[in-house]
Chain A
Amino acid sequence: MALLEVRGAVKRFGGLLAVNDVSLDVEEGEIRGIIGPNGAGKTTLFNVISGALPLTAGTVMFRGETISGRKPSHIARAGLVRTFQRNAMFPKATVLENVMLCRHTQIDENILKAVFGIDRAEEERNLARSREIIAFLGLDGFADEQAQNLSHGHQRVLGIANALATEPKLIMLDEPVAGMNPAETDMVTDHIRRLRDEWGITVILVEHDMRTVMGICEKVTVINFGEKLMEGTPEEVTHNPAVIEAYLGSEEISL
């Protein structure tokens, strides 16, 4: 049984079929790339898997449980988290506060506990783990910096840190290296690989930067006009005429 099973996912916006009968299996420990031209429906696919948008038809199973129809917060609790294409963060909070705030899934909270003293041990554990996540992504030098003052690259990494704070089994990254320079891109690519290798987190990423996708994904799913065009290794995908046609309309994908 795959970690994530998408079966016949359909998302319709009025007359537009943004996602049309997409099925997808992602195995535990995979780094899966989802590519496709602009407007192919990649982000919509993310939104319906993570619960941000309701499915028109189809089901999504995660760890053997149906998660379609549930709220994003419940899905995050089940261990599936997504990042955003925009730099989503709490801008006025520091990097450390951001990560601490996002550890909601790990905390059993109630109002009495909030008012009449906190669980010090739990608070300490949280702080320690938050620092660990920040250090893992190389943000430790900015722990006390307000998120809004970070560079674009660091803000994108903070987005990943916030998602990791939920202790996911599967993380879905929406264009993690968008707008980054080559050095930053290499750094994030390295983080993604270590996420899987060291922390055992399964990764799905939507990305435009072909070099990144081809560099770290073992398997790539190509989406075009809301439909799954093909699935295969980066090698197979880059040499498939249909993919080349959809993507570039030319002979070859430049790496």
Chain B
Amino acid sequence: MRATAFGLVFLAIVAAAAVAAPYSVSYYQTEVLILFLINLILVCSYRILTTTGDWSLSHVVMMGVGAYTTAILSKYLELSILLTVPLSAVVAGLVGLVMVTPLIRTRGFGFFIASFALGEFVRLIWVKFRDPFGGPRGMIGIPNGEIGSIDFFMPVPYYFFVLIIAALCLSVMYRLDRSRIGKTFKAVYADEDLAESVGIDVPRYRALAFVTGTFFAGVAGSLLAHRLGAVDPKNFDINVMVYLIIWIVVGGSATFWGPILGLAVMTVVFEVTRPLLEWRPLLFGIILILFLVFMPGGLESLFTGLRERLVRRRGSEGEG
């Protein structure tokens, strides 16, 4: 009960800070916050896949599917942003469904490599087909979008739009994580043979996690395309994928909050190391290795460890 109350207070503080944020920072910082919210959807959607043990290397490409879909829908068909975002998610989910059908036959390292290959295949389609994907240079002139008289060219209105979408997506993903399906995903990871023996259709659940994850990656991609006004195949290459993995490794993936923590910390690190431009990949590589070696559970393991110790102490006091 006390934990729930604490959670509500914490949530209220975060909500208040999120609403106040764009009014207390510069335009540039608001742009950073928008990118943070988009990445928040991306990293949480990626965690859905990882709960079944499928560390896909194509997740950023799936975000790209959402972005390209939005580019085409809003540039050529001039659809409203209220339609492009959900439609891009659906298209990304459908592409995810097509991709996962062969992928489901692989596991572990095989899955890792096969997902990379399929992702690159999709990226090559964008590079090869100048029409309608714009080839290696990608597409430009994607509208920022507007709702009624609110133009999303300015960062503050768009920030609030993204904030609402992110809150919606995260609450759905959170509920999914807590639901029977979310627990089943983790059961599939914990003991595949046992799960299958008690009636859990393991391939079906792995596919469900993959498609759900790609659906939300599509949302993130759509929001990104509207903000940048341009998409290009390099936005969704393996370098970006490595950043996504770093966020999750730094934060941890055992709880819903781990990837969010990792993203928040690494966004700050990313921003303060801007002057070090060419050294940044090295720095991030070192951070990745240090976490893998010294804190494989990520930053969240500090909190879960603390909580376990508290529970144990309270338990032993009760006994004594």
Report A164-203 residues with CB < 8 Å from chain B CB: 165-166
The reply to whether the CB of A35 lies closer than 8 angstroms to some CB of chain B is no
Chain A min CB distance to B259 (Å):
19
The reply to whether the CB of B212 lies closer than 8 angstroms to some CB of chain A is yes
> Which of these, A73, A91, A92, A93, contacts B200 with CB under 8 Å?
A73
Asked if residues B193 and A114 are in contact (CB atoms below 8 Å), the reply is no
Asked if residues B197 and A115 are in contact (CB atoms below 8 Å), the reply is no
Q: Which of B172, B182, B193, B199 has the most CB of A within 10 A?
A: B199
Asked if residues B199 and A76 are in contact (CB atoms below 8 Å), the reply is yes
Closest residue of A by beta carbon distance from B198? A102
Chain B min CB distance to A184 (Å):
21
Could you tell me how many residues of chain B have their Cβ less than 8 Å away from some Cβ of chain A? 23
Asked if residues A73 and B196 are in contact (CB atoms below 8 Å), the reply is yes
Asked if residues A114 and B199 are in contact (CB atoms below 8 Å), the reply is no
Complex alpha-carbon distance, A249 and B158, angstroms:
82
Residues on B with C-beta less than 8 A from A111 are 176, 181, 208, 212
> Which of these, A71, A91, A109, A116, contacts B196 with CB under 8 Å?
A71
Chain B interface main SS type: helix
The reply to whether the CB of B2 lies closer than 8 angstroms to some CB of chain A is no
Chain A contact residues (Cβ within 8 angstroms of B): what range?
20 to 34
* Given A52-B193, A114-B175, A109 contacting B180 (CB threshold 8 A): yes
Asked if residues A114 and B182 are in contact (CB atoms below 8 Å), the reply is yes
Report A153-168 residues with CB < 8 Å from chain B CB: 162-163, 165-166
Q: Of A26-34, A56-64, A81-89, A208-216, which stretch is located at the interface?
A: A81-89
Interface residues of A (CB under 8 A from B): 50, 52, 71-74, 76-77, 81-82, 84, 88-93, 97, 101-102, 104-105, 107, 109, 111, 114-116, 118, 162-163, 165-166
Given A73-B197, A163-B198, 10 other A-B residues pairs in contact with their CB atoms under 8 A: A71-B201, A73-B198, A76-B198, A91-B190, A93-B190, A101-B183, A104-B200, A107-B180, A165-B198, A166-B199
Q: Which 8 A-B pairs have the closest CB atoms?
A: A114-B179, A76-B199, A105-B199, A102-B198, A88-B194, A104-B199, A114-B181, A73-B201
Interface residues of B (CB under 8 A from A): 172, 175-176, 179-184, 187, 190-191, 193-194, 196-202, 208, 212
